[in-house]
Structures are given as structure tokens and as C-alpha cells.
Amino acid sequence: MSGIEKLLRKNIIDLVPYSSARDEYSGEDGVFLDANENPFYTGVNRYPDPLQHKVKVRIGQHKNLHHEQIFLGNGSDEGIDLLIRAFCEPGEDNIISIKPTYGMYKVCADINHVDFREVLLSADYQLDKEKLMQAADNKSKLLFLCSPNNPTSNSFFRDDIVFLLENFEGLVVLDEAYIDFSQQESLLPVLKDYPNLVILQTLSKAWGMAGVRMGMVFAARDIIRSLSKIKYPYNINKLTQQYVLERLNTSSEKDQWVKQILSERERMRARLSKLSCIDEILPSDANFLMLRFNSAKKVFKYLMDQKIIVRDRSKIPLCEGCLRITIGLKNENNMLIRALEMYRSE
């Protein structure tokens, strides 16, 4: 048994996946009478490539990975859900994670009836690695981490992540959705050193493609194969594949966006730190700021009345009183700054 088979659910090991018509022939030209498609050309009359070969090769060039180390999902959410479905036996296995963090890990665990064990971050928003290890047992198949973390906006210490990689007996899923904004290095370059490391990234943030829905999972080939085996055959549609292939050629534009967003973030921090209605601005390694108010609810409503929509995180542990503010365009950020400057708490 390979390392990964010890963690996989037995029904997934035994599963015979759906074999799509296009699995048997990967050439581009031919007389395609195999898939009951409409033969009249519209650009989308043919089924898309189920394994998104071209897109993966292109992403592989960007990330210095082999295409077989890449899984593409309908947003990161699909990767999260498939990892749980491949590795966690409902009602039996469990998942370890942190609190607070991105809400989808728990929602997907709940949908799949998998026990989700949350370990509170330390007071300085770092990993409590001893408590995380104590929460784990021989039914703990996945450990979800998110760095930079949403909503706390900071990155975790790399040594702590490495400690967990070396000690946790299941897969460590590291969500790097905000890595493009981070001072910290991605763990992607050490993927080959850790057969239990799974890295999630997305096109939704720095790449500016939240609307196309594409998330990336990077991991050892046997893990990627397991996810591909259980996904819906055509999970990434043809329009998305074409569009992403084009946009991947514009990484300098993405880099320019990131630079501007980071400079705006620091400008916002400087301006907002002067305001008496803000008690604290959490250290941020992402494209958003967590602002602590003593009257978050009121400020939230005050901003909403002016059609400035922010995210109320004020009831979340360690984020009490915080509103989460995404860095926008310069004039949008100025509108927020001006509104908060005008805010008077009664």
C-alpha cells in the first residue's frame, strides 16, 4: 500500500471512475462521432477536455510543476470538497483546523458529515501547534491551514507549518489564496519534500478572475490522481479553459495590480491609524485589513447606509469588534477613509 492508500477511503480506492468518450482519444482532429454532441460548430458544441491538459501545462510553467501535480476545480471550494470526500469516511474520520479561519472548510466537512475539530489560534493569531497535535487522533485525515489567514490577515510562521507537516499523520492542506500579497514565500517549492502537503491557490484574488471560478490544488501525483478520479468529468467548462489560458499570459498585469493593492493597503493603514474610532488595525499580509472598533455594528451600518459594503467579522473569536475591509481602487479607498473620518459615535 502506498502512503496515500492508507489515508484514502476504501470505496474511493476501489472506485471505477466514469469513463468519458474523450478519455479514449486525446488527438485534436478526427471525425468525432463518439459523444452524441451536436456536429454544427458553435465554439462550444464539443465537450471540453476533462483533464484540462493545456491549462495545467501552462500553470505548471508558471509554478514550476509537472501538470500531473495539478488539479483544477470550480473554485477552491471544489478542491476542498473533493479532498474531504476522498479522504474522510463520513461519521467516522475527522478534520483538524484552526479558529478563526475560512468558513468553507467547516461547511464542506458538515455537508459530508465529517467531524471538524477547531483549535483556537494564539492571542497573536499564530498556530498553537501543540494543541493542534493534541486534537488529532488516528482518525484525523486532514489538517486545514490558511496562510495568510482569512480573516485574521496574517501569515503563520513557516517553522510551525513545517512542524505540522512533519508531525501530523494525515494530509496538511495549506490554503494559499492570498500568497501573491504576502511577504512570506509559498511552500510550493518544497512540495516535493512533503508527500502529505496539499497546497490550494486560486485565480479569484490576485489574478482578478473570481468570476470564472477556477481553483488550483497542488500536490503529489497520487493525491491529484485521487481527486481527478472522483470529480465530475467536465468540471471546468470550455469557456473558462480558453479564457484562463489567455489570461495566464498577462502575469505582468497581475503583478502590477498586486503592487498597487499593496501600496494602497499601506496608505490606508497610515490614514486609518490616525482615526480615533479605530482601536486597532491588525497586521496584514493579504489584500484586506481588519479594523477593530468599539462599536463595529454601528460603523458597519453607518457605512452600509452610504453604500460602502464591508464584512462584519465582529462576532468571530479573536476578531471581536472587527470589520474586514478589502483594498479597493484608490478612489473607493478614499471614500471609505472619508466616511470613517466623518464618523461620530453618538
Q: Please, what is the minimum distance in Å from the beta carbon of residue 100 to ligand PLP?
A: 11
Closest CA to 218 of 79, 77, 321, 34: 79
Segment near ligand PLP (CB under 6 A); pick from 3-11, 118-126, 200-208, 220-228: 200-208
- Cα separation, 129 vs 97, in Å, equals 11
- Beta strand pairing call for 322-326 and 115-120: unpaired
Segment near ligand PLP (CB under 6 A); pick from 47-55, 198-206, 222-230, 313-321: 198-206
Binding to ligand PLP by residue 102, rule CB under 6 A?
A: yes
Binding to ligand PLP by residue 177, rule CB under 6 A?
A: yes
Total residues interacting with ligand PLP, rule: CB under 6 A: 13
- Selected binder of ligand PLP within 154, 202, 287, 333 (CB under 6 A): 202
Binding to ligand PLP by residue 209, rule CB under 6 A?
A: no
Site string for ligand PLP, 17-56 (x = CB under 6 A): ----------------------------------------
Sheet with 197-202, edge to edge strand ranges: 70-73, 215-218, 197-202, 171-175, 140-146, 94-99, 115-120
Binding to ligand PLP by residue 75, rule CB under 6 A?
A: yes
- Cα separation, 141 vs 195, in Å, equals 14
DSSP-assigned letters across all residues of 108-158: HHHHTT-EEEEEEPPTTS---HHHHHHH--TTEEEEEEESSPTTT-PPPPH
Binding to ligand PLP by residue 146, rule CB under 6 A?
A: yes
Residue 156's contacts (CB-CB under 8 Å, 6 or more residues apart) are 126, 127, 145, 147, 149
Binding to ligand PLP by residue 210, rule CB under 6 A?
A: yes
Segment near ligand PLP (CB under 6 A); pick from 18-26, 59-67, 203-211, 319-327: 203-211
Q: Which residues bind ligand PLP (CB under 6 A)?
A: 75-77, 102, 146, 150, 175, 177, 202, 204-205, 210, 215
